Amino acid sequence: MKSLCLKLLLSSFAFLLILITLAINQAYSVEIGKTQNTFVISDEEPGNLLSRLKNAGYGNYNLYQTLLQMQADASPSVAGIITPAFLNTLANCPTGSQIFTTMLNDFHSDSSLAISTDGTVQTVKVYAKDYFNKTGASTLLTSLSGAAAEDTNFVHSGFQPSIAEFNAPLMSWTVGNTKYNVFAITSGFVPAQTVTPTPTKMPFMDQRRKKNG
């Protein structure tokens, strides 16, 4: 009888393990092939935001904590860009995710860091200056109290200066079956794009009048 009970118990335990494994695999497979919202911190010149953040004491924060602190330190508020929903999605990533295990100090100061809702952190060549004042993008100029109170730009998708449009990303890329959509890029000072005036030719009649005159 004891032997039968032990066999039933072991069988039940094995079945439970199978169910747990299937659940984990299913949860993992949900992430594969998904579109991940992505926020980029750029150290592009001349603003060098990543370097400023490190010098202001952010270096010992992990990437999730960095975003939390940036949201808390920003004035005016960036809660419409680094949204509570975005932060909540990050908070629910597995504890071993890169956003929790890597510190800001782990990255070179000339990097652009892409922080995504699957918990990954990628080093990318994405810069705010490439989208500053472009159609479909807006810029919110803020000051970070913990980063020497210098100007910080949040260039993001959408037409409202303080609200990002997650469904119309600035740009995207694909790794495997996962697409990463960038909805915002934060950087230091973004220089205004200089526009070289295009010379205009005089109309034919005006040229003739000038010659005759």
The answer, yes or no, to whether residue 25 has pLDDT greater than 50, is no
What confidence score (pLDDT) does residue 168 get?
93
* 30 against 211, higher pLDDT: 211
Instruction: List Cα–Cα distances, 91 to 25, 63, 71, 84, 118, in angstroms.
Output: 20, 11, 15, 10, 10
* 154 against 15, higher pLDDT: 154
Angle 150-146-48 (CA atoms, 0-180°, nearest 5)? 50
Task: Report the mean per-residue pLDDT for the chain.
Answer: 80
Q: Which residues, 6+ apart, have CB-to-CB distance to 131 below 8 Å?
A: 137, 155, 170, 171, 185
3-class DSSP state for residue 168? coil
pLDDT (average), residues 47-55:
90
What confidence score (pLDDT) does residue 71 get?
95
Give the pLDDT confidence of 71-126 residue by residue, as tens digits: 999 999 999 999 999 999 999 999 999 999 999 999 988 889 999 999 999 999 99
Give the pLDDT confidence of 123-162 residue by residue, as tens digits: 999 999 999 989 999 999 999 887 655 789 999 999 988 9
The token pair that represents 152 in the structure block: 């910080």
Q: Which residues, 6+ apart, have CB-to-CB distance to 193 below 8 Å?
A: 129, 132, 133
CA 154, chain centre distance (Å): 10
Which pTM value belongs to this model? 0.75
What confidence score (pLDDT) does residue 18 get?
37
Q: How many residues does the chain have?
A: 213
78 within 8 A of 70, measured Cβ to Cβ:
yes
The domain locations on the chain are 32-191
**Closest of 50, 34, 169, 40 to residue 106, by C-alpha:** 50
What confidence score (pLDDT) does residue 59 get?
93
The answer, yes or no, to whether residue 1 has pLDDT greater than 80, is no
**Cis, peptide link before residue 76, omega less than 30° from 0:** yes
